[in-house]
Amino acid sequence: MTTKAERTTTFIIKTVAPVFNKHGYVGTSMSDLTEATGLTKGALYGNFENKEALALAAYEFSINKLFEAIDERLNIEGGSLEKLFSLTKFYRNYDVFSRDMGGCPVLNVGVDAQHNNAQLSAAARETIKIIEGKIALVLEEGVNNNELRLSVPPLQFAKQLYTMLQGAIAMSTISGDRKYLVNTVAYLEVLVQKEIKK
């Protein structure tokens, strides 16, 4: 059973995660956080050492939701092709998935924290490596099971695939036009079918 303090900490993290994600570390003020949570500044700092610790906890909360969603898509029954298409199907509607989170945490935090928060910036870079690694494992499994043929190492292909997905997310976010995302995912699916499927 969780304690009241643990429930309060969880409530704070869940509540402020989309605020930080939407407004950025520097753009989020303490008054934004007190307004969102309905708690005092003292109550927030009673649970977290400082704003940086709270921002990091909020980012980790959002990223864990993303990891869970990706794992759910990649851990389905079937071969590597089914898993890749399960992932692309997820990313086709990624803007809908990430809406309640305040947008894509990898994109938002990765760009926002680049020059003003070394811890958050490092966390975003680590997230990218983890996601690329998850994709690479599926690709490697496909090569080993004679389902896929790759002209480059699985991790290199995974990096390119994820770069295209994140680029599409960025363009879709900046332009407000989800066709960037939908069309890129459709292209990736054709690429997988024509180029790497055995």
Averaged over successive runs of 10 residues, the pLDDT of the chain (198 residues) comes to 85 96 93 94 89 95 98 96 97 96 96 94 97 98 96 97 97 96 97 92
Residues in contact with 35: Cβ distance below 8 Å, sequence separation at least 6, in sequence order = none
Task: Please report the pLDDT score of residue 130 as a whole number.
Answer: 98
Task: Please report the pLDDT score of residue 150 as a whole number.
Answer: 95
Q: Where residue 148 sits, what CATH number does that domain have?
A: 1.10.357.10
Task: Please report the pLDDT score of residue 198 as a whole number.
Answer: 86
- Number of Cβ atoms within 10 Å of the Cβ of 173: 18
Contact 46, 37 (CB under 8 A): no
For the chain, the first-to-last Cα distance in angstroms comes to: 51
Please identify which residue in the block is written with the tokens 């303090």. Answer: 5
Task: Please report the pLDDT score of residue 98 as a whole number.
Answer: 97
Name the 3-class secondary structure at 148: strand
CA dist., res. 149 & res. 122, Å (int): 33
Contact 81, 148 (CB under 8 A): yes
Contact 70, 90 (CB under 8 A): yes
CA separation (Å) from 109 to 2, 63, 136, 145, 186?
30, 11, 23, 37, 26
Domain that holds residue 25: 4-196
Tokens of 64: 């864990």
Please identify which residue in the block is written with the tokens 């690429």. Answer: 191
CA separation (Å) from 57 to 3, 34, 139?
18, 16, 31
Into how many domains does the chain fold? 1
Task: Please report the pLDDT score of residue 111 as a whole number.
Answer: 94
Contact 68, 165 (CB under 8 A): no
pTM for the whole thing?
0.94
User: Using CB atoms within 10 A of its CB, is residue 79 exposed (0-12), middle (13-18) or buried (19+)?
Assistant: middle
Name the 3-class secondary structure at 107: helix
Contact 76, 86 (CB under 8 A): yes
Task: Please report the pLDDT score of residue 182 as a whole number.
Answer: 97
Task: Please report the pLDDT score of residue 183 as a whole number.
Answer: 97
Task: Please report the pLDDT score of residue 4 as a whole number.
Answer: 84
